[in-house]
Structure 1
Amino acid sequence: MTTFEERTTVHAFRDDALGEHDAVGLAEAIRRGEVGAAEAARAAAERVRAVEARLNAVQVHIDAPVHATGAAGAFAGVPTFVKDNTDYLGLPTGHGSTAFTPRAARRHAPFARQFLSSGVTVLGKTRLPEFGFSPTTEYEGAEPVRNPWNTSRSAGGSSGGSAALVAAGAVPIAHANDGGGSIRIPAACCGLVGLKPTRGRVLANALSHRLPLDIVSDGVVSRSVRDTAAFLAAAERYWRNPKLPPLGLVEGPSERRLRIGFLLDSPNGVRCDPATRAAVTETAATLERLGHTVEPVEPALDPRFTEDFLTYWGLLSFLIGATGRTLGADFDRHRMDGLSRGLREAYLENWRRTPGVLRRLKRTREAYAAAFRGLDLLLSPVLAHTTPPIGRLSPAVPYPALIERILAYVAFTPLDNVVGTPSLSVPAVSTTEDGMPIGVMFSGRPGSERTLLEVAFALEADRPFRRVQDA
């Protein structure tokens, strides 16, 4: 009898209306009349039912999804899911927490409207760890979201539910957002493309306007570079930030040769494991073969960056605990999970440091800009080690041990959240010894999504990304 501790790969790919299409391919088939939008939604719902018992990725199903009949959009009729920290009219927004009873949203969040403008059919909402704080989608009193490549492993977080469904083939694309790596981490764990846009590239959520430092950006996880590129182009057609350079639709690699800096270890001293080092080194060699110049760099960050980000993380947990009744009248901060409580309690011990923390974090953009002198992009690991087993980062682990493990794992992604710069995770060619995906990360200057996508297109064309159905 197979157990979750043994290697179990789960996918929903089959000969149905979705086939092996990515979102762009499915939308084209719908436009040509080869597939109906309602037929695609039914096929996706069936695929979700086929894998959900083993992946636990869905928070809310919509019994009768409204498909965008006749809608003109890049993804018209493409089935998808919205992450359960974003309001969708008529559905509860639970934020992955049992500390309150969520109520139905009275309106779509601004980003939800922007996402819907692409013509997608929303089938429901995906699970996330409590308030998106964790890099794994696990809980103290509920089943975790499991990785389709190996159900004994984490699907990453906080957009773990979305990543699991997309990687498993249940839907071709899904909403995700990123406040410290929450698009890029699950993309890396599940072998997907995950781009955190520049701050302000897409519409911000309501909370962002109230924070002293906005670190959250919304986007998608996808199985192809062209799907992520098509999403950004569609989002821009709905609304474009005049402070950023226009993006348009990026459709392939560029002829431009780039200067790319690469680093294997975190600027704050966390060393990555051998498999991750090999993945980044191999990617650097591929880029050189494709004509780019790749050179080692050592960004000079304030040595207090990790501690400062942790303090800010704790401030967010404290603010949620203090204002939670706006989420639900029965909100009880004592019912928040062990990670949320630990972050809050650690913050309360150090709250006097807040002004200095904020000043230093805002100054990080200066060190980041200095690292880019003479460079177009930075290449690094997404995570310091490969995908952990379920349980290692569970919120049930005592907080001192848990936070030590998290900081030794999430050592690269928060920098781009603090600075507000775009950052992209793509699957590396090399994998772990047991075949799990490893992500590599590219980061750029503000507004440089085009360059990131062009490099990702080049890597995808050089060696197509591995698929879970072939594992």
Structure 2
Amino acid sequence: MRPDEYRSHDALGLAALVRTGEVTPVELLEVAMQQADAVNPHLNAIIRRMDAQARERLTGPLDGPFAGVPFLIKDLGQDYRGLPTSAGSRALADLPAAEHATVVQRWLDSGLVVFGKTNTPEFGAKGITEPDLFGPARNPWDTSRTPGGSSGGSAAAVAAGVVPVAGANDGGGSIRIPAACCGLVGLKPGRGLVPMGPVQGEAMHGAATHGVVSRSVRDTAAMLDVLSGGEPSGPYVPGTPSDTFLSQVGRDPGRLRIGVCTASSINPEPHPEAVAAVEASARALSDLGHHVEFLDEPPVDDLALARDFLTTWFVYLAWEVDDAKRRSGRKDRSFELDTQIMAALGRAHSSVEYVDTVMRRHDHVRRLSGYFTGYDLLMTPTLADLPPRIGALDTPRVARRAATGLLKTRTAGLLRHSGLVESMIDANLNWIPYTQLANLTGRPALSLPLHWTPEGVPMGVQFTAPLEGESMLLRLAGQLEQALPWDHRQPPAAETGGAGRPR
């Protein structure tokens, strides 16, 4: 099989070729490795190859809906027994996992052949993928730009045709942001539907979950069938539909009531292309018979939600740093300065303040639930701006010097009162203000590749649904995939392996 033939199939398509004997799993793995060898030097999407493990797996029988399909897992929260899960951190880079993560085991049980782990920012703490340990991942559509984060390595690899689908996870947009940056499908399942174990019952009080980035809606749906359902060590028995998620793709979604909002207190002036993406999608939805209504303001106070999100994230990151120290025996110098700053901000909050922040989620949930009494879905841009250039979001040198001094004198808690949180909201959430809502409220949300700029840069459109809305999202996504197809698009790096600009 030639690389161009390989790239023309989604994962279910490749699995069908394996079942009929038209291609073998060995051939698929070899062409996936060939594509990785061609593009990864320019994209830095894969930071650990697992060729030996993959070839060993091919010596035994494979079964399941994705039997024989090459696959990549994210180097964060997706443990593979015997190999480190670095989470983009030097502190964990040499610490092997004792067992497979539940989602990794489910992927293996579905017949996938894992041959690598993908790049991620340290502890997944940013919407870009530029860890000090491995260096930046790059966007196949324009290698001067980020592929997003924190699942940026997975998204870059899928967009560049290394694999048709790859492991991802999402605590504040980390599936949907890179999907939007790289022209992919990215579904964040609702709270508790996909397990986080066996090490953790849930992460970030349920705000984080596992999933995939893919090129087709049906792959995303079939992957949700593989991943969904509880586990003995989990905190919930999640409700699952009587029909498969894959069976939803192609079904008529009916006439949906869709509220459309581009307004954001965090970014009052989103990029014209972000607005254009939503307006064009709204016209297409109206043509399909849906009721589309533009809103003057978001259904939830997004600035207050952003503050609560960052407080939760900073405190959780402080715990992650301390946990990494306990497990590895490493000291603070093993962590990036930005990580140390965020962890210090987390430690500056009292336990009561933190619980107060977590409890305020119920206010956001109630407001969003009230919105869903009148609408079926909320549509927004996924991104408020173009994917940033590599290095554009580096912490300014002056701020780094000031933070270093405070960290050395153990007075870093003063950072909380320095205006740094406000500047971090502006710098890090300004271009992605729409994604955290689904995480803090636990609702499912989906980014679809419905728009490209004239320069060829993808801009996703996001749909947020009420509880148990995954099936509705997949039905609508299948309809839009037919109306506004994207599978014919190929980024320059996929075809040449080079660092070409978008066409």
Q: TM-score, normalised by structure 1?
A: 0.91
Shift in Å at residue 241 of structure 1? 4.5
For residues 232 and 293 of structure 1, the distance between their equivalents in structure 2, rounded to whole angstroms, comes to 28
For residues 463 and 61 of structure 1, the distance between their equivalents in structure 2, rounded to whole angstroms, comes to 35
Query: What corresponds to 1:213 in structure 2?
Result: 205
Query: What corresponds to 1:67 in structure 2?
Result: 58
For residues 395 and 334 of structure 2, the distance between their equivalents in structure 1, rounded to whole angstroms, comes to 12
For residues 381 and 360 of structure 2, the distance between their equivalents in structure 1, rounded to whole angstroms, comes to 24
Q: Which segments of 5 or more consecutive residues in structure 1 lack a partner in the other structure?
A: 1-11
Change beyond 3 A, Cα 1:285–1:15: closer
Higher normalized helix content (fraction of residues)? 2
Which of 422, 433, 440 lines up with 1:411 in the alignment?
A: 433
- After TM superposition, the structure 1 = structure 2 runs for residues 15-54 of structure 1, keeping only pairs within 5 Å, are 15=4, 18-54=6-42
Q: Is contact 2:88–2:133 with CA below 8 Å preserved after alignment?
A: no
Query: What corresponds to 1:287 in structure 2?
Result: 285
Give the match's secondary structure for 1:106.
coil
- After TM superposition, the structure 1 = structure 2 runs for residues 296-315 of structure 1, keeping only pairs within 5 Å, are 296-297=294-295, 298-302=297-301, 304-315=304-315
Cα deviations by residue, 1:347-385 (Å, 9 ceiling, x for unpaired):
233435212211112332111101111211111011211
Query: What corresponds to 2:164 in structure 1?
Result: 172
Amino acid at match of 1:24: L
| 2:249 maps to 1:251 | yes
Cα deviations by residue, 1:64-87 (Å, 9 ceiling, x for unpaired):
211385433111110011101121
| 2:448 maps to 1:426 | yes
Shift in Å at residue 342 of structure 1? 2.0
- After TM superposition, the structure 1 = structure 2 runs for residues 38-117 of structure 1, keeping only pairs within 5 Å, are 38-64=26-52, 65=54, 66-67=57-58, 70-85=61-76, 86-117=78-109
Cα deviations by residue, 1:213-263 (Å, 9 ceiling, x for unpaired):
221110110011111011112334897954343450223141511111110
Which piece of structure 1 moves more, 315-324 or 96-105? 96-105
Change beyond 3 A, Cα 1:441–1:195: same
Which piece of structure 1 moves more, 277-286 or 386-395? 386-395
Q: Is contact 1:118–1:234 with CA below 8 Å preserved after alignment?
A: yes
Amino acid at match of 1:445: P
| 2:174 maps to 1:182 | yes
- After TM superposition, the structure 1 = structure 2 runs for residues 348-387 of structure 1, keeping only pairs within 5 Å, are 348-351=347-350, 353-387=353-387
Q: Is contact 1:115–1:235 with CA below 8 Å preserved after alignment?
A: yes
- Backbone CA RMSD of aligned residues: 2.4
Cα deviations by residue, 1:324-349 (Å, 9 ceiling, x for unpaired):
234422x2233321321221222233
For residues 59 and 269 of structure 2, the distance between their equivalents in structure 1, rounded to whole angstroms, comes to 47
Change beyond 3 A, Cα 1:75–1:252: same
Shift in Å at residue 139 of structure 1? 2.5
Cα deviations by residue, 1:21-44 (Å, 9 ceiling, x for unpaired):
110111111111001011101110
For residues 290 and 2 of structure 2, the distance between their equivalents in structure 1, rounded to whole angstroms, comes to 36
Q: Is contact 2:121–2:129 with CA below 8 Å preserved after alignment?
A: yes
Q: Is contact 1:247–1:450 with CA below 8 Å preserved after alignment?
A: no
Q: Is contact 2:73–2:166 with CA below 8 Å preserved after alignment?
A: yes
Q: TM-score, normalised by structure 2?
A: 0.85
Change beyond 3 A, Cα 1:69–1:265: farther
Give the count of matched residue pairs.
457
Give the match's secondary structure for 1:164.
helix
For residues 484 and 361 of structure 2, the distance between their equivalents in structure 1, rounded to whole angstroms, comes to 38
Amino acid at match of 1:105: A
Amino acid at match of 1:418: L
Change beyond 3 A, Cα 1:272–1:21: same
Change beyond 3 A, Cα 1:238–1:120: farther
| 2:213 maps to 1:192 | no
Amino acid at match of 2:62: A
Amino acid at match of 2:483: D
Which piece of structure 1 moves more, 240-249 or 23-32? 240-249
Query: What corresponds to 1:3 in structure 2?
Result: none
Q: Is contact 2:300–2:364 with CA below 8 Å preserved after alignment?
A: yes
Q: Is contact 1:260–1:292 with CA below 8 Å preserved after alignment?
A: yes
Change beyond 3 A, Cα 1:464–1:310: same
